[in-house]
Chain A
């Protein structure tokens, strides 16, 4: 569905490449996470895919169509939610969606239904200038769904949302994924990527470091450790027990038999741990 081959982009005429030889493929119906810290090249790649930046080197196609010089037919098929909540402040939430829906040549979803879906049903007639940052984020998230996109490009869709709203948005993304929508998710939040993505790509300084499923990455780069907290002489004691070691497994069995274990956590690596291990720097 999305095919990127040897993509390069430089903002300064070739001195430094913001995107440097990036290649990947996203099959139909997959949720693909594009992870990296700020300035890694995530947004540049996304902008090239949506035609906001011109193609300099390499190839990219969406749904079999070259992203270069695309006209209205192409944009009827994709939905884009931006990190910066860009909506007309002088219009209401409903007016914003009604205006945007009118731009498409394909049947669109009911703006009121979408606003209700993102918990803005009560605020649909309020001017966007009066919305909070999270409300604006949900508005543009809803806007990106208007044309029932086959390919949904989401840039930090949960940033600025409170936990309740974030959970709701994750459910909406999951529901669209279940319908077979191909999702290209740009984020620096590894928890979001871990929960929603079938595969993730790590990008750092314009180069792709690795592309794989979150599970494979954890198995490959993580440690099998269980952290156990138990009570001993009225004090809480914590121990990390390696599970790939006979002594560790034995010790865990002993502790379980004492009946003093209070908490127990598997300590598999997070995507952020793996990112740090692979690139030497964090995602923030």
Chain B
């Protein structure tokens, strides 16, 4: 099997190369890099502020001044921490009932500039002072909790990187692999293959490997360009490997079900639209309905973020990798079974 897998890989890579797959991959990565560098600002305002206030002090907030923060009211202190895990540029502000004065906690990610925290203290602190002391200044003690000590500031550009790694580097295979299968069906190559000793598993797996190699070129190239060596490349390798496997398997499934790109187009675009939903949640963490977590791109984005921003740590990373790998394996087995049937039907 290994010999035939290598043989199929050589053939598929040559065909892909001559169909400009590698050129398209590199050009897309370069365009994205230019987009990040010249069109996306390093910083973006307003910053989300996740706020929990004990009902006792809720009225005070209504007197707060206009600030650069986009305030998101949370139901509990835990909800503040949860939201901040998803929003790397978000701040947390928790006001609970204390013995003599409100017990205030500022939650920061770890990479923020101190001016931002001071601004936060000033903006919301003034509101509380005015409310509690009826105009007299009151010294409030702030407890500052840092989620990721030592973490550098995450730029808005860096936040875009996981999205590219998932939707481009990992999802190259989704479209290209189905196009490869449609071309083979169109040229009736499957009939020649079916009367040879070659197996279907290596025939499909070789295409997955081609897409994986393109994914590596794209993901490692863009990460090096944007982050330099400041990324966890082992996690990146693992993320792209399992994500590309899943997306290629999904592409194989499309190639197995349909006989041409035209027939598959509606479903392909529907899938793309659906799979992009977690990107919205990633960019705007307040939009995270429960069903979004069941889409494979959700754990992919989380894993990609842990890879390109190492300070996020490995919490949940391996669980996400296992979920993606598991889903990819199920899809590959399904596509293998359906492809076998579909080929004999079109023979």
Contact = CB atoms under 8 A, between A and B. Distances in A.
Given A52-B344, A86-B187, A86-B189, A91 B197 contact: no
A91 B195 contact: no
B347 A99 contact: no
Nearest to B17: A90
B14 interface: yes
A51 B197 CA distance: 12
A100 B196 contact: yes
A53 B344 contact: yes
B41 interface: no
Contacts of A84: 188, 191
B19 interface: yes
A86 B191 contact: yes
Interface stretch (A74-82, A113-121, A201-209, A273-281): A74-82
Contact of B192 (A54, A89, A100): A100
A47 to B, nearest CB: 6
Interface in A60-107: 71-73, 75-76, 78, 80, 82, 84, 86-91, 95, 99-100, 102-105
A42 interface: no
Interface in B177-203: 187-189, 191-199
A211 interface: no
Contact of B196 (A54, A75, A91): A75
Interface residues of B, number: 23
Contact of B4 (A47, A54, A87, A102): A102
A138 interface: no
Interface in B107-148: none
Nearest to B192: A86
A143 interface: yes
Contacts of A86: 187-189, 191-192
Interface of B: 3-4, 7, 10-11, 14-15, 18-19, 187-189, 191-199, 344, 347
Interface of A: 47, 50-54, 71-73, 75-76, 78, 80, 82, 84, 86-91, 95, 99-100, 102-105, 140, 143
